[in-house]
Amino acid sequence: MNECELLRDHISPFITLLNDLKNVRVKIDDEDQAMLLLCSLPSSYKSFRET
C-alpha cells in the first residue's frame, strides 16, 4: 500500500485474498490475519502497528 491509497482500497483486496484462500481451504487465524493487515500498512500507520 502506498501513502496515497485509501485504506478502503487496500483492505478490500486484502479481504478478497483472504476469502480466496478460505475457498481453497487455507486457514489463517484471525490474529494472523490482523497482523498481516497491520504489517502491510504504510509507515504513516505506524501507530496502529505499535499498539
Spatial distance between the Cα atoms of 41 and 11, rounded to a whole number of angstroms: 10
Q: Kindly tell me if the per-residue pLDDT of 1 is higher than 70.
A: no
Q: What is the pLDDT of residues 6-38, one digit of tens each?
A: 888 889 999 999 999 999 999 999 999 999 998
Q: Is the pTM of this model over 0.85?
A: no
Residue 2 has pLDDT above 80, yes or no: no
Based on its alpha-carbon atoms, the radius of gyration of the chain, rounded to whole angstroms, reads 12
Q: Are 45 and 11 in contact (CB under 8 A)?
A: no
pLDDT at 33: 96
Around 15, how many Cα atoms within 13 Å sit in the side-chain half-sphere? Answer: 6
DSSP label at residue 25: T
Instruction: Say what the pLDDT of residue 22 is.
Output: 96
The confidence score (pLDDT) of residue 44 equals: 83
